[in-house]
């Protein structure tokens, strides 16, 4: 295994297994002393068979995955398990609440999960609720403008980097939605992201207004890599 760390505190792990290169990216975000929050990102470079062989997935969960018709989605689910195996010393059992929010059955740590065709990512925190979302920047996000943005957010769009901005808006609102676990959230009306300009990495401020009208001020962070953007929030 080789390890690189950049100035932002992001640790890049390159793992070699069975002569096949597998890359997992880890980020450690210091909230307090000691650090309680950790992000892992796994690049899906393996076949489905290889992912099945390298994961310690429970038989009932493996059976559930086998019913998924889409091969890419099956690989994403398996890659999440491979990532969890890399992030935990002990075997963990992943499950979901009725609202879809994931949790670890045998560990009280808070978790949020995101996946694309090429990457899966997980954020963990010992004490605080978390949310994370990842998207490819090669995707067309034009529909997000009318679907999920307020008038103020639309006015803030930069024509030169509009698609990248829309991607960050979408990921930020998805991460907040996962954090809050509220049904029927109106992204345009209930989640407002403050004005920002696109950079390779940065911080965001946002406000979530719950169904009772109470406003929750949130701070998010984002990073880009390999034409993807990753946004996370800890509260």
Phi/psi of residue 190, nearest 5 degrees: -105, -15
The answer to whether the beta carbons of residues 199 and 159 sit under 8 Å apart is: no
Per cent of the chain over pLDDT 70 is: 85
The top-scoring range by mean pLDDT among 4-8, 21-25, 57-61, 213-217 is 213-217
Distance CA 90, CA 105 (A): 12
Q: Are 91 and 56 in contact (CB under 8 A)?
A: yes
In this prediction, residue 135 carries a pLDDT of 98
How confident is the model over 154-177, as pLDDT tens digits? 999 999 999 999 999 999 999 999
Q: Where do runs of H (alpha helix) occur along 55-131?
A: 59-66, 71-87
Q: Is the pLDDT of residue 144 over 60?
A: yes
Confidence (pLDDT) at 59: 86
> What is the band of 22 on the pLDDT scale with cuts at 50, 70, 90?
very low
Tell me the mean pLDDT in the region 14-43.
56
Gap between the Cα atoms of 118 and 24, Å rounded: 12
- 20-29, strands of its sheet edge to edge: 2-5, 10-17, 20-29, 37-43, 119-125, 110-115
Q: What is the pLDDT of residues 81-140, one digit of tens each?
A: 999 988 898 989 999 999 889 999 999 999 999 999 999 999 999 999 999 999 999 999
**What pTM does this model have?**
0.88
Is the separation of the CB atoms in 135 and 121 below 8 Å? no
Q: Quote the pLDDT of residue 32.
A: 52
Kindly report the CATH class assigned to 2-127.
alpha beta
What are the backbone angles phi and psi of residue 226, rounded to the nearest 5°? 50, 50
Segment 171-212, tens digit of pLDDT: 999 999 999 988 899 999 999 999 999 999 999 999 999 999
Kindly indicate the confidence band of residue 8, based on its pLDDT and cuts at 50, 70 and 90.
Answer: very low
pLDDT band of 31, cuts 50, 70, 90: very low
DSSP for residue 100: S
Cα 14 to its chain centre, rounded Å, is: 20
At 79, is the secondary structure helix, strand, or coil?
A: helix
Q: How far apart are CA 158 and CA 187, in angstroms?
A: 20
Tokens of 76: 């994403």
Alpha carbons 214 and 226: distance in angstroms, whole number: 38
Where do the DSSP E strands lie in 52-177? 94-96, 102-104, 110-115, 119-125, 130-136
Contact between 231 and 132 under an 8 Å Cβ cutoff? The reply is: yes
pLDDT at 6: 39
Give the tens place of pLDDT for each residue, 57-67: 888 888 999 99
Instruction: Tell me the fold of 135-234.
Output: Ribosomal Protein L22; Chain A (3.90.470)
Q: Where in the chain is the domain with CATH 3.90.470.20?
A: 135-234
């Amino acid at each position: 295994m080789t390890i690189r760390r950049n100035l932002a505190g992001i640790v890049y792990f390159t793992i070699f297994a069975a002569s096949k290169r597998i890359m997992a990216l880890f980020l450690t975000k210091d909230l307090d002393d000691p650090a309680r929050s950790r992000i892992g990102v796994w690049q899906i470079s393996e076949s489905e068979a290889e992912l099945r062989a390298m994961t310690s997935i429970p038989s009932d969960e493996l059976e559930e995955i086998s019913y998924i018709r889409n091969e890419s989605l099956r690989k994403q689910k398996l890659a999440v398990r491979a990532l969890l195996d890399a992030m935990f010393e002990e075997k963990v059992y992943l499950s979901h609440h009725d609202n879809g929010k994931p949790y670890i059955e045998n560990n009280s740590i808070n978790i949020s999960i995101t996946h694309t065709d090429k990457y899966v990512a997980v954020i963990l925190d010992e004490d605080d609720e978390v949310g994370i979302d990842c998207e490819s920047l090669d995707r067309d996000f034009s529909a997000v403008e009318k679907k999920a943005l307020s008038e103020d957010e639309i006015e803030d769009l930069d024509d030169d980097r509009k698609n990248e901005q829309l991607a960050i808006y979408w990921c930020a609102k998805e991460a907040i939605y996962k954090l809050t676990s509220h049904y029927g959230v109106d992204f345009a009306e209930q989640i407002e992201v403050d004005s920002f300009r696109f950079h390779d990495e940065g911080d965001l401020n946002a406000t979530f207004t719950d169904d009772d009208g109470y406003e929750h001020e949130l701070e998010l962070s984002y990073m880009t890599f390999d034409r993807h953007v990753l946004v996370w929030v800890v509260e």
